[in-house]
Structure 1
Amino acid sequence: MQPLLHLASLLAARGLRLTVVETSATTHLLAPLLAEHPSSVRSLSFPSTVDHDTSGRTSVGADFHAHAAALRAPLGEWLRSHARSDSEDDDVAADGRVVAVISDFFCGWTQPLAAEAGIPRLVFAPSGVLATAATHSLFRRMPRPPEGDAGRGYTVSFPALPGAPSYPWRQISRMYRSYAEGGRDEHSEGIKDNFLWNMEGAAFVCNTCHPLEGKYLEAQPLTDLASKRVWAVGPVAPPPASTGEGDPAGDVNAWLDAFPDSSVAYVSFGTMMVPPPPHAAALAAALERSGTPFVWAAATATLPDGFEDRAVAAGTGLVLRGWAPQVAALRHRAVGCFVTHCGWNSVLEACAAGVPMLAWPMAADQFFNARLVVEEARVALAASWGGFGAVPEADELARALAQVVGEAGAGMRARAVEIAARMAEAIGEGGSSRRELDGLVQELGRGR
Structure 2
Amino acid sequence: MAAATTDRPTAPASHVLVVPYPAQGHMIPLLDLAGLLASRGGLRLTVVVTAATVPLLAPLQAAHRDTVRELVLPFPSHPAFPAGVESAKGLPPTLFGALIVAFAGLRGPLGDWVRARSDGPDRVVAVLSDFFCGWTQPLAAELGVPRIAFSPSAVYGTAVLHSLFRRMPRLGDDESLVPFPDVPGAPSYPWRQLSLLYRTLKEGDEVSEGVKRNFLWNLESSAFVSNTFRRLEERYIGAPLADLGFRRVRAVGPLAPDADAAANRGGETAVAAADLCAWLDAFAEDGSVVYISFGSMAVLHRPHAAALADALEQTGVPFVWAAGPTVALPEGFEERAAAAGGRGRVIRGWAPQVAALRHRAVGWFVTHCGWNSVLEACAAGVAMLAWPMTADQFVNARLLVDEVGAAVAVSWGGLQTAPAAEEVARVLDDAVCKGKGGGRWVHVAARAKELAEEAAAAVSEGGASRRELDELVRELCELGNESTPRE
2:200 counterpart SS class: helix
Q: Tell me, in whole angstroms, the C-alpha distance in 2 between the residues paired with 1:289 and 1:183.
A: 48
- Note the residue ranges of structure 2 that are not aligned, 5 or more in a row: 1-26, 77-82, 481-487
More displaced stretch, 398-407 vs 227-236? 398-407
Percent identity of paired positions between Structure 1 and Structure 2: 59
TM-superposed CA distance for 1:63, in Å, is 4.1
Q: Tell me, in whole angstroms, the C-alpha distance in 2 between the residues paired with 1:234 and 1:364.
A: 21
Residues 1:411 and 2:443 are matched in the alignment = yes
Q: Which residue does the alignment assign to 1:160?
A: 182
Q: Tell me, in whole angstroms, the C-alpha distance in 2 between the residues paired with 1:246 and 1:359.
A: 28
2:109 to 74, 77, 81: 74
TM-superposed CA distance for 1:297, in Å, is 0.2
TM-superposed CA distance for 1:237, in Å, is 2.8
Structure 1 residues 75-111: Cα deviation after superposition (integer angstroms, max 9, x where no partner): 01112333x3xx2xxxx43xx3211000001100111
2:225 to 205, 208, 215: 205
2:48 counterpart SS class: strand
Alignment of 1:292-307 (within 5 A): 292-299=317-324, 300-307=326-333
Q: Which residue does the alignment assign to 2:35?
A: 9
More displaced stretch, 66-75 vs 288-297? 66-75
Q: 1:62 to 1:209 in 2, by over 3 A?
A: closer
2:302 to 273, 277, 294: 277
1:100 counterpart SS class: strand
Residues 1:187 and 2:187 are matched in the alignment = no
Q: Which residue does the alignment assign to 1:107?
A: 133
1:226 to 242, 245, 255: 245
Q: 1:337 to 1:153 in 2, by over 3 A?
A: same
The one-letter amino acid of 1:171's match is Q
Q: 1:152 to 1:342 in 2, by over 3 A?
A: closer
The one-letter amino acid of 2:278's match is A
2:426 to 371, 391, 399: 399
The one-letter amino acid of 1:254's match is A
Q: Which residue does the alignment assign to 1:250?
A: 274
Q: 1:431 to 1:65 in 2, by over 3 A?
A: closer
The one-letter amino acid of 2:99's match is F
1:251 counterpart SS class: helix
The one-letter amino acid of 2:314's match is R
- Note the residue ranges of structure 1 that are not aligned, 5 or more in a row: none
Q: What is the aligned length? A: 432
Residues 1:309 and 2:328 are matched in the alignment = no
Q: Tell me, in whole angstroms, the C-alpha distance in 1 between the residues paired with 2:449 and 2:196.
A: 34
Q: Which residue does the alignment assign to 2:370?
A: 343
Aligned CA-pair RMSD:
1.9
More displaced stretch, 47-56 vs 361-370? 47-56
Q: Tell me, in whole angstroms, the C-alpha distance in 1 between the residues paired with 2:470 and 2:195.
A: 33
More displaced stretch, 381-390 vs 46-55? 46-55
The one-letter amino acid of 1:233's match is V
1:19 counterpart SS class: strand
TM-superposed CA distance for 1:70, in Å, is 3.5
TM-superposed CA distance for 1:170, in Å, is 1.2
The one-letter amino acid of 2:288's match is S
Structure 1 residues 362-408: Cα deviation after superposition (integer angstroms, max 9, x where no partner): 00000010001000111111111110111101011001011221413
Q: 1:272 to 1:439 in 2, by over 3 A?
A: same
Q: Which residue does the alignment assign to 1:328?
A: 355
Q: 1:38 to 1:55 in 2, by over 3 A?
A: farther
Q: Which residue does the alignment assign to 1:352?
A: 379
Residues 1:143 and 2:143 are matched in the alignment = no
Q: Which residue does the alignment assign to 2:14?
A: none
TM-superposed CA distance for 1:410, in Å, is 2.4
1:31 to 58, 75, 93: 58
The one-letter amino acid of 1:79's match is V
The one-letter amino acid of 1:212's match is L
TM-superposed CA distance for 1:257, in Å, is 1.3
Give the TM-score, by structure 1 length: 0.92
Q: Tell me, in whole angstroms, the C-alpha distance in 2 between the residues paired with 1:22 and 1:320.
A: 30
Structure 1 residues 167-197: Cα deviation after superposition (integer angstroms, max 9, x where no partner): 1111111111111xx4652111111110001
Structure 1 residues 307-365: Cα deviation after superposition (integer angstroms, max 9, x where no partner): 00100111111000111000110111111110000000000011111111110000000
Q: 1:160 to 1:396 in 2, by over 3 A?
A: same
1:39 counterpart SS class: coil
Q: Tell me, in whole angstroms, the C-alpha distance in 2 between the residues paired with 1:110 and 1:363.
A: 26
Q: Which residue does the alignment assign to 2:311?
A: 286
2:84 to 48, 51, 57: 51
Contact 1:356–1:404 (CA under 8 A) maintained in structure 2: no
Residues 1:264 and 2:299 are matched in the alignment = no
